[in-house]
Amino acid sequence: MGEYIGLDVSMKDTAISVRCDGKRVWRGKCASDPEAIARTIRKHAREPERVIFETGPLSVWFYHALQSAGLPVICVDARHAKAALDMAANKTDANDADGLAHLAEVGFYREVRVKGFDSMLTRTLVAARTKLVRIQTELSNQIRGLMKTFGLVLPAGKGSTFETNVRGRLDENPELAAIIKPLLEAWCSIRLRAAELTRRLINDARQSEACQLLMSIPGVGVVTASAFATAVEDPANFRSSRSVGAWLGLTTRRYQSGQVDYNGHISRRGDHQVRSLLFEAACVILTRSTADSALRDWGLKLRERIGFKRAAVAVARKLAVIMHAMLKSGEMFDRKVVTPA
């Protein structure tokens, strides 16, 4: 009979609990380093059956490192594990490790698919570029607001046009220029770095068949295609394309108890980044896209009946289904067909 190990991971230390034959045989702590954890497990468990830890900031690193060390590691959903861990009278790292080891022993857990390092690199690239673009927008809005206070109203424009307008208006107020120019220089630097990451993202998308396939959908660009492709990774991870919408939190929540039975807002579970990008792509399809498609026609009819926001969520959910079906079949987007959601 093998041993079942639970790991309660933190940034500094990791609590470890080892169970065998329904009893705890050892527990302790070690540094939060995969090599140190592997050595500790090998020392106190000769035949590890399952090694379980929760999702967290270190889960990708720990999963691949411990798997390379030959350990049967499993990453479980933190929300699912919390319900069992809350049964303990005291909330401690040692008790959480004991609870995880017990879950490993009885098999009452929900395993989470951990993404590969290549997918995580692309996702990090998308997140870093998004952050820089947001900071750039915040700085430009801050500059506009500060200058407006002194009667220097900037005309519409962005990029180099915005920079030219700011520098031209600051010549009228040298005292204000000493305050605004550092902000403008920071804006220029962030704009340059965001452009560099954008070019890298575009180059990576050109070399990806999945991204090229998804970008055949009107309204889906490089960022959305890259984020969705790396989130799904292998289309075989989902039995049905319809389950992708629920996986991304785009399906309504349901509450039923006795005589009470109603549907609420969308669950908003899963990948927030991909869900936001799909909603943005849906808004583009409903408002800015000029390409005719059965998907856009369906969305416009839905908007007249239930309103813009709900229609955009429905289009985003249908986009998730269509994009997964395209990755699975390898076929380009058919503008005449609407896949059932």
Which of 139, 130, 193 has its CA nearest to residue 163?
139
For the chain, how far is it from start to end, CA to CA, in angstroms? Answer: 46
Taking 80 as the threshold, does the pLDDT of residue 338 lie above it? no
pLDDT in tens, 266-291: 888 888 999 999 999 999 999 998 88
pLDDT in tens, 144-157: 999 999 988 999 88
Which of 145, 168, 167, 165 has its CA nearest to residue 156?
165
Taking 80 as the threshold, does the pLDDT of residue 337 lie above it? no
Residue 341's pLDDT is: 54
pLDDT in tens, 17-26: 999 998 999 9
Least confident of 161-170, 236-245, 332-341: 332-341
What average pLDDT does the structure give for the chain?
Answer: 92
Residue 78's pLDDT is: 87
Residue 140's pLDDT is: 96
pLDDT in tens, 51-63: 999 999 999 999 9
Non-local (6+) Cβ contacts of 228 within 8 A are 214, 274, 277, 278, 320, 323
pTM: 0.86
Non-local (6+) Cβ contacts of 144 within 8 A are 154
pLDDT in tens, 288-324: 988 888 999 999 999 999 999 999 999 999 999 999 9
Question: Which of the pair, 84 or 97, is modelled with greater confidence?
Answer: 97
